[in-house]
Chains A and B, each alone.
Chain A
Amino acid sequence: DQQVKQNSPSLSVQEGRISILNCDYTNSMFDYFLWYKKYPAEGPTFLISISSIKDKNEDGRFTVFLNKSAKHLSLHIVPSQPGDSAVYFCAASQDFNKFYFGSGTKLNVKP
């Protein structure tokens, strides 16, 4: 049973607009959440994270929002750029050595 779910396998956005990627989790004990970006033929690259004591974390064009009551995580990319086209994985952890990953959302940013 998957504890972290990304229900949208793909998302297409126009360059310059906002991209919103969503993630849901079932385990209320998760206390650390991350987003990774993956290009073809490369490993996942760490993008941004958030601790469960926060509800928002921002890094440049990337913002992660955490809604603990809804067990929902989202990644906002503003403005979206063609180079952002990749597969995005969310991940969650309750034990600093064990991470659970969603199945990924493929983002396509059209020029």
Chain B
Amino acid sequence: DTEVTQTPKHLVMGMTNKKSLKCEQHMGHRAMYWYKQKAKKPPELMFVYSYEKLSINESVPSRFSPECPNSSLLNLHLHALQPEDSALYLCASSHGYSNQPQHFGDGTRLSIL
């Protein structure tokens, strides 16, 4: 069982819809991450939150909007997505200091019609 929980597991949305992806961890981790993964490609970092503050934004388009309401929760708000945004979106968390691994959720499979 993964200790990082992502909902929903699957999401199909139109290009004009607004939806949110949710991620939760209860391991006391202080860093949380969003990754995007396309088929047969490595996970690509999108955002990093450290102590509930956005610390890294990898030049992600503004149609993706992250939010960290508290140290256990991470959201990714989606609006006006494009078909090329269809991918697996992975959330991860870590203690947030050196030589500590990230722990991943099972991801949300997103399809944009």
> Is the CB of B52 closer than 8 A to any CB of chain A?
no
A89: chain B residues at CB < 8 Å are: 42-43
Interface size class of B (residues with CB under 8 A): 20 to 34
> Is the CB of B100 closer than 8 A to any CB of chain A?
yes
Q: How many A-B residue pairs have CB under 8 A?
A: 60
A42: chain B residues at CB < 8 Å are: 2, 106
Q: Mark A68-111, 1 if CB is under 8 A from B, else 0.
A: 00000000000000000000010000001111111110000000
Q: How far is the CB of A4 from chain B (nearest CB, A)?
A: 7
Known: A49-B99, A97-B50, A97-B96. Contact between A103 and B40, CB under 8 A?
Answer: yes
Closest to A99 in B: B102
> Is the CB of A63 closer than 8 A to any CB of chain B?
no
Closest to B40 in A: A103
